[in-house]
Amino acid sequence: MAQRPAPPPWGVLMTKALVRAKLSAREAARRAGISEGRWRQIASGYQVVSAGVYAPVRGPAGTLARMAAVVGVTPAQLRRAGRTDAARALAAAPAEADVGQELLQRVRAMNSDQARELLATIALQLGLRLQAEPAPGRERRQGALPRGAVLAPRRGGLKGGVPAA
């Protein structure tokens, strides 16, 4: 039976950082947007194909950068571990986070009518149907979310316009 391959330098780095961050692989993977199994494959550098048969795994740069961000690994550490591609992706990540923060600030600055209009537009773009009816005597603009309506999950997808309790 073949011996398990040694983990790559970036896998050792991720495993040590995971311990330092006091996170389980499951939680770290959830935060990085991947499965626990995929996290373990990338960190170990292989996947088990069958008993005693191992296939090499080299995670994509973006995935490794997300993993690094979760456990506090820096771009310099990734470069030293031989993953300059992931280091570049990680270095670019804060700019993307800034865009998200800016968007969140703009939404928070909206009044309730503007926020409802935005939510209705998003619902339409996602193909969600709004089911709440407008109050009698009020005409609803195309796509406008009625006051008091929220989007709620249901089996088989989302349905929109469920009146808030």
Same domain, residue pair 118 and 82: no
Residue 4 lies in a domain: no
Same domain, residue pair 120 and 95: no
Same domain, residue pair 23 and 85: yes
Choose among 77, 82, 80: nearest CA to 59: 82
Which structural domain range is residue 152 located in?
Answer: 112-163
Q: What is the pLDDT of residue 2?
A: 76
Same domain, residue pair 82 and 140: no
Cα-based distances in Å from 58 to 2, 44, 47, 63: 20, 9, 10, 10
Pick from 19-33, 95-109, 133-147 the range whose average pLDDT is largest.
Answer: 19-33
DSSP H or E segment with residue 54: strand 53-56
pLDDT digits (tens, 9 = 90+) for 54-79: 999 999 999 999 999 999 999 999 99
Q: Which one is predicted more confidently, 165 or 58?
A: 58
Q: What is the pLDDT of residue 106?
A: 86
Give the CATH number of the domain where residue 97 resides.
1.10.260
Residue 99 lies in a domain: yes
Cα-based distances in Å from 148 to 5, 106, 116, 131: 57, 22, 10, 12
Same domain, residue pair 15 and 57: yes
Q: What is the pLDDT of residue 98?
A: 66
Would you say residue 47 has pLDDT above 60? Answer: yes
Q: What is the pLDDT of residue 1?
A: 63
Same domain, residue pair 98 and 116: no
Task: Please give the Cα distance from 64 to 35 (Å, whole number).
Answer: 13
As a whole number, the mean pLDDT across the chain is 82
pTM over 0.85: no
Task: Please give the Cα distance from 136 to 73 (Å, whole number).
Answer: 57
Q: What is the pLDDT of residue 64?
A: 96
Same domain, residue pair 77 and 28: yes
Q: Which one is predicted more confidently, 124 or 7?
A: 7
Would you say residue 158 has pLDDT above 50? Answer: no
- Please tell me the total count of domains within the chain: 2
Q: What is the pLDDT of residue 115?
A: 86
CB 35 within 8 A of CB 10: no
